[in-house]
């Protein structure tokens, strides 16, 4: 690999993000946190009614925030 290719590749400083992976990672992390809260006794099974939607809403919000630059016309 020559130096010009490496310089043009790293000069932007930004890394393309796969939004699907980002959203599912946030959702998985949220569900793992809820599982840890239930197992540790910090939250009870009755709290699942309001705890389970939280990771999905958070992942959706992160996904929307990640797509707004693309919707405005900023392309990679």
pTM of the full structure: 0.68
Range of the domain at 64: 17-71
Residue 44 lies in a domain: yes
pLDDT category at 3 given cuts 50, 70, 90 is: low
Residue 6 lies in a domain: no
Q: Please count the structural domains in the chain.
A: 1
Name all contacts of 66-74 with Cβ < 8 Å and 24+ positions apart. 66/17, 66/19, 66/22, 66/23, 67/19
Task: Specify the DSSP element, H or E, that contains 70.
Answer: helix 53-71
Residue 10 lies in a domain: no
pLDDT category at 38 given cuts 50, 70, 90 is: very high
Residue 57 lies in a domain: yes
For 47-73, write each residue's pLDDT tens digit.
Answer: 889 999 999 999 999 999 988 876 676
Residue 5 lies in a domain: no
């Amino acid at each position: 690999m020559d130096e010009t290719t490496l310089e043009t590749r790293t000069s932007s400083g930004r890394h393309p993000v796969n939004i699907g992976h980002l959203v599912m990672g946030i959702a998985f992390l949220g569900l793992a946190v809820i599982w840890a809260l239930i197992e540790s006794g910090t939250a009870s099974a009755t709290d699942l009614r309001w705890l389970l939607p939280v990771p999905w809403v958070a992942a959706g919000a992160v996904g929307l925030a990640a797509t707004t630059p693309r919707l405005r016309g900023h392309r990679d």
